[in-house]
Structure 1
């Protein structure tokens, strides 16, 4: 069970680091760039991928290229969401993104609709609406719009990334090799972006990127290990991971950072958990 606990802790710790970025004057784009160097290096060291296997004509390189663009872009959106909306709402929006592939399966791929999945999707959409609700009169309409846009970007972005990885798996591409190449492309893209902006690198941003990369990779690695530890019960891993991140994120955000939530936001958190529970096979 420790594998799941560590994966959940790493996921929430990433949000905590993003939350602390402004307080410690960190340039989060530099940290995210270094993060991909660290994550790709750890992937190479631990998973020992064979990128050459992707040279097959059947490899969907357009998916890998799209992931290379989306990974750093949505990571930056997540950083913005944590800064403007807080850890609680950002983590919940990220976890609700798991319903995007379900919606795509029904709409795009003609998959049959089960009662449990339909209930889960319905609850997830209501939960998302509750998470996006802003009632603070002191917040300008421009700030409110930016916050909502960032949360929606996190939801749609991570859901799209999940779909792309699933399509890669269906193509027969090795997961470890695909992950390594996606990390590598993401790193190259954001480094080119920083180079074009003539970024002045600072040591504290490099250190933050080192920590961010270890946490980001740790989340992925221990989640995979959890599935290996519980091979006969993937539903346990799936539900525990998503509910655990939402619950711990709420405790850390509201408890440690005193993030203010309206009663509608709180209802959204509860409905998000209920949506995940609705997906558990009965």
Structure 2
């Protein structure tokens, strides 16, 4: 339970930081790249050693780690692209509703058997996430062009597969806290390396301009970001409840916490649909907690 609460609070904090980035004109991509290296340093300090080295090449999970590290930065950029081209509503809903993929994989691969109350909570999580995610300014229907719809579908599948891969890694390879911390550091190391190469290319070709405010933003983002992933793995490994219920519960919890922060600290007022989504979210939390 503690890992779930910490993961939810840290993810809500990340959402608040991204809102502050807009106010202070922080470039998201540059801050994200810096954030990856801060995550590596934070994780190494937390673990008490730097686990990336020659021995990493012989780890059983290396291939999966490389794929997931690339997925981290790819999905982020795909989300940014879909937001710009198809609207924040389409991108957010595709990203959040992707939880259906790891839920189904958990039921099929790990022979989980949700009870009636759990199934009700899982099913209600989908309209809850959809309604709570809808921005007030985007209530009108978003009609992506035909070729853009491909990217929205790809975002949905990619986000879901990334969450599924995280569960698979935890289930197969990460039995101890030290292994979980080491794997998380390797993930961010791979993402940071890929991001740095891309950033150097953008800077050399003049597509981006460097600013120290982006470094400051990345430092602020890095510490909570590392622990959000670490506590997510610890949460999945805790067997608090089945992962088919844990994943919707954590997604809904993040939405509720983020919405409360937006209302209390950023003066945002939810629409009628947002309120309905938040009400459904509370019902989902209650159902999954009861189960």
Please give the TM-score of this superposition, normalised by the length of structure 2.
0.71
- Deviation, structure 1 residue 244: 5.1
- Tell me, yes or no, if the aligned pair for 1:49 and 1:176 is still in contact at 8 Å: no
Q: Which runs of 5+ in 2 are unaligned?
A: none
Aligned residue for 1:265, secondary structure, equals helix
- Deviation, structure 1 residue 266: 2.0
Match of 1:197 among 179, 195, 202: 202
Q: 1:227 to 1:125 in 2, by over 3 A?
A: closer
Aligned residue for 1:21, secondary structure, equals helix
Q: Distance in 2 between matches of 1:196 and 1:24?
A: 25
- Deviation, structure 1 residue 20: 2.1
- Tell me, yes or no, if the aligned pair for 1:96 and 1:272 is still in contact at 8 Å: no
Moved more, 35-44 or 255-264: 255-264
What does residue 254 of structure 1 align with? 263
Q: 1:178 to 1:4 in 2, by over 3 A?
A: closer
What does residue 234 of structure 1 align with? 240
Aligned residue for 2:23, secondary structure, equals coil
Moved more, 210-219 or 242-251: 242-251
- Deviation, structure 1 residue 9: 4.0
Q: Describe the superposition over 1:183-227 as per-residue Cα deviations: whole angstroms up to 9, x where unpaired.
A: 111011111111221233211000110111022124345677889
Q: Distance in 2 between matches of 1:116 and 1:53?
A: 46
Q: Which runs of 5+ in 1 are unaligned?
A: none
Q: 1:97 to 1:167 in 2, by over 3 A?
A: same
1:21 aligns with 2:24: no
Q: Distance in 2 between matches of 1:18 and 1:139?
A: 24
* CA RMSD after TM alignment: 4.3
- Tell me, yes or no, if the aligned pair for 2:136 and 2:270 is still in contact at 8 Å: no
Q: Distance in 2 between matches of 1:195 and 1:46?
A: 29
Moved more, 74-83 or 43-52: 74-83
Q: 1:197 to 1:15 in 2, by over 3 A?
A: same
What does residue 128 of structure 1 align with? 129
Please give the TM-score of this superposition, normalised by the length of structure 1.
0.73
User: How many correspondences in the alignment?
Assistant: 271
